[in-house]
Amino acid sequence: MAQQNDTFKKVIAHAKEYGFVFPSSEIYDGLSAVYDYGQNGAALKNNIRAYWWQAMTQMNQNIVGIDAAIFMHPTTWKASGHVDAFNDPLIDNKDSKKRYRADVLVEDYVGKLDVKIEKEVKKAAKRFGDSFDKAQFLDTNPRVLKYKETGDAILKRLGKSLENEDLADVKALIEELEIACPESGSKNWTDVKQFNLMFGTQLGASAESAMDLYLRPETAQGIFVNFLNVQKTGRMKLPFGIAQTGKAFRNEIVARQFIFRMREFEQMEMQFFIPPGTQQHWYEHWKETRLKWHLALGLGEDNYRFHDHEKLAHYADAASDIEFKFPFGFKELEGIHSRTDFDLGSHEKFAGKKLQYFDPEQNKSYVPYVLETSVGLDRLFLAVFSNALQEETLEDGSSRTVLKLPAPLAPTKVAVLPLVKKDGLPEVARKIIEDLKWDMTTAYDEKDAVGRRYRRQDALGTPFCVTVDHQTLEDQTVTLRSRDSMEQERVSIAELRMRLSDQVSISSLLRSL
Ligand code: GAP
């Protein structure tokens, strides 16, 4: 745990020091769970968004993208169920006065059992060496089975209590498990209460004419209310999808863990409209497709797992999360929900307008079912960034901090460095940048010894450095240095663009899907 905390602290410090993520309005001491992206963070975030957008709208002829407003008619949130049901169960500790999500306290308790299982696996792997069979060990070791059984039973009970709105049982569970306040160690808890997560605001100039609005807590509703607009104007046939990226707002009770849980964040959501009865097929399809999309980033297969929901949201008939191993353990990265016809059906009722599709094959009209994929851009940023940040010990015993971002996502793809600031080398370096800048992001750096400049680019995640030296003036070649292998090779200037552009382009990721 202490090591996890340490790693996470390094991630946060590195993000700030190198211009990726700053606390919001820092000169006023920041705003809780709100963050700003700096010059490198904005670029990394744009690249992640582009990878998602292109994978959805460019790679699929039947998925189109929209950009709906953040403000929506307030009845939207009545129809979607958010006014009545978008609540989190909160609990206060009477001694520390700290507020927690009751379900998260229980889930963290189960998370500790998972850590114990991991420890057992590590111990056994050491004991059995090469002959260790992890799958068999997990299926048969009595201690592991006990931890798993206990964890499953706790989560099942929690799911049931939340589904039945039995908040007294959630409190009873916390007391039975003897869960203490993480800050103070006190077990003196209040009752569990529901808390609505939407932020309210007002539209209109005078108090009398003002209309109460909400900042959208998910982007999905902007897609639902535009379903017929897009279907008709795009002459879309089922099955088809509408994709959108944009800001969402939630007044989270517990907002810690940096950009993992924010009050203002960005979602990338896709609603896939399908004929009723086909939802099981599309649910499996999108689970597999989305996992593949994540795996193409190369962050390691073992860092992902599915978590099928016991407790379903008010709109879903099946739901699964893709979880990622963050520095603080496995947590939700993306949700895949089979949303039935709940949203369109409900908007039909509240708006008094038909939201139906005429199916020429079945010769009838119906409200389509919906399969949703929803991933948090900031969470994905954290997954990519924390996985990429590494401390390496080099052959000569020295160490380097390197941010091994997937090359197509890196803020700067290539840094061009004149070996010295004279003899015409800066001019050649600038000319190389002029040639490359049409195809990739570049940086110029002439300060300090070249070794230090390499380290600086390593820490920023720049996958390639090009060094211009005196030999360049004679034979038009440069040194091309790779961030990950640190290997250097001599390459002609004329070849550079060809050598680099494919490796650093988003299409290289798309091609591997
Ligand atoms: N439209 C469905 C929906 O909003 P969700 O599971 O509540 O479902 C989807 O959210 C994704 O949005 C999550 O998997 C997560 O990546 C991201 N997300 C949700 N709340 C967040 C928060 N407070 N901060 C950052 N990301 C968040």
249: pLDDT strictly greater than 90: yes
- Looking at the fold, whether 389 and 404 belong to one and the same domain comes out as no
Using a pLDDT cut of 90, give the percent of the chain over it. 88
First to last CA, the chain: 35
What 3 state SS string does 289-338 have? HHHHHHHCCCCCHHHEEEEECCCCCCCCCEEEEEEEEECCEEEEEEEEEE
Domain contains 313: yes
Q: How far apart (Å, rounded) are the C-alpha atoms in residues 74 and 199?
A: 12
Q: Where are the alpha helices (DSSP H) in 359-422?
A: 377-388
Distance 184 CA to ligand 1 centre (A): 29
1: pLDDT strictly greater than 70: no
Distance 423 CA to ligand 1 centre (A): 54
253: pLDDT strictly greater than 90: no
Domain that holds residue 381: 1-76+197-393
Distance 357 CA to ligand 1 centre (A): 29
Q: How far apart (Å, rounded) are the C-alpha atoms in residues 470 and 474?
A: 7
The response to whether residue 347 sits with its C-beta less than 6 Å from ligand 1 reads no
Q: 312 or 124: whose pLDDT is higher? A: 124
Using a pLDDT cut of 70, give the percent of the chain over it. 99
- In this prediction, residues 245-256 reach a mean pLDDT of 90
Distance 334 CA to ligand 1 centre (A): 7
Q: Mean of the per-residue pLDDT values for the chain?
A: 95
Beta-carbon count within 10 A of 203 CB: 12
DSSP 190-209: ---EEEE-PPEEEESSSTTT
By mean pLDDT, which of 230-239, 312-321, 429-438 is the weakest?
Answer: 312-321
| Residue 310 banded pLDDT, cuts 50, 70, 90 | confident
390: pLDDT strictly greater than 80: yes
Residue at a domain's end among 154, 179, 194: 194
Nearest of 455, 405, 445, 387 to residue 40 by alpha carbon? 405
- Looking at the fold, whether 419 and 472 belong to one and the same domain comes out as yes
Distance 376 CA to ligand 1 centre (A): 5
Distance 95 CA to ligand 1 centre (A): 31
Total domains present in the chain: 3
Please report, for the domain that includes residue 375, its CATH number.
Answer: 3.30.930.10
- In this prediction, residues 277-306 reach a mean pLDDT of 97
Domain contains 130: yes
What are the pLDDT digits (tens) for 62-91? Answer: 999 999 999 999 999 999 999 998 998 999
By mean pLDDT, which of 57-61, 129-133, 196-200, 204-208 is the weakest?
Answer: 204-208
The CB-based long-range contact list for 277-285 (8 Å cut-off, 24+ gap) reads 277/369, 278/239, 278/369, 279/317, 279/318, 279/338, 279/340, 279/369, 279/371, 280/318, 280/338, 282/239, 282/338, 282/371, 283/318, 283/320, 283/336, 283/338, 283/371
Residue at a domain's end among 346, 362, 393: 393
Domain contains 81: no
**Residue of 251, 252, 267 to test ligand 1 pocket, by largest number of atoms within 8 Å of CB:** 267
The response to whether residue 250 sits with its C-beta less than 6 Å from ligand 1 reads yes
Minimum CA distance residue for ligand 1 atom 6: 335
- For residues 246 and 223, the answer to whether their CB atoms sit within 8 Å is no
Minimum CA distance residue for ligand 1 atom 17: 376
- Looking at the fold, whether 237 and 247 belong to one and the same domain comes out as yes
- Looking at the fold, whether 211 and 332 belong to one and the same domain comes out as yes
- In this prediction, residues 355-372 reach a mean pLDDT of 96
459: pLDDT strictly greater than 80: yes
| Residue 382 banded pLDDT, cuts 50, 70, 90 | very high
Q: How far apart (Å, rounded) are the C-alpha atoms in residues 493 and 476?
A: 6
Helix (H, G, I), strand (E, B) or coil at 43: helix
What are the pLDDT digits (tens) for 269-285? Answer: 999 999 999 999 999 99
- Looking at the fold, whether 246 and 335 belong to one and the same domain comes out as yes
**Residue of 374, 375, 384 to test ligand 1 pocket, by largest number of atoms within 8 Å of CB:** 374
Single-letter residue type at 169: D
DSSP 155-172: HHHHHHHHHTT-HHHHHH
Residue 508's pLDDT is 95
Encoded tokens for 7: 């790693």
| Residue 205 banded pLDDT, cuts 50, 70, 90 | confident
pTM, two decimal places: 0.88
- Looking at the fold, whether 164 and 212 belong to one and the same domain comes out as no
437: pLDDT strictly greater than 80: yes
- Looking at the fold, whether 38 and 135 belong to one and the same domain comes out as no
| Residue 2 banded pLDDT, cuts 50, 70, 90 | low
Beta-carbon count within 10 A of 406 CB: 22
Residue 163's pLDDT is 80
| Residue 420 banded pLDDT, cuts 50, 70, 90 | very high
Query: How far is Cα of residue 125 from the mean position of the Cα atoms in its chain?
Result: 31
Minimum CA distance residue for ligand 1 atom 12: 376
The response to whether residue 266 sits with its C-beta less than 6 Å from ligand 1 reads no
Domain contains 389: yes
Q: How far apart (Å, rounded) are the C-alpha atoms in residues 79 and 333?
A: 27
Please report, for the domain that includes residue 464, its CATH number.
Answer: 3.40.50.800
The response to whether residue 290 sits with its C-beta less than 6 Å from ligand 1 reads no
The response to whether residue 456 sits with its C-beta less than 6 Å from ligand 1 reads no
Q: 452 or 4: whose pLDDT is higher? A: 452
Domain contains 478: yes
Find tokens 């399969």 and name the residue. 371
Minimum CA distance residue for ligand 1 atom 18: 376
Q: How far apart (Å, rounded) are the C-alpha atoms in residues 178 and 105?
A: 11
- Looking at the fold, whether 190 and 227 belong to one and the same domain comes out as no
- Looking at the fold, whether 46 and 133 belong to one and the same domain comes out as no
Classify residue 187 by burial, with Cβ atoms within 10 Å: 0-12, 13-18, 19+.
Answer: middle
- Cα angle value 452/462/43 (rounded, 5°): 130
Would the CA dihedral through 436, 441, 447, 452 be positive or negative? negative
Minimum CA distance residue for ligand 1 atom 19: 376
- Looking at the fold, whether 51 and 139 belong to one and the same domain comes out as no
- Looking at the fold, whether 169 and 212 belong to one and the same domain comes out as no
Residue 204's pLDDT is 84
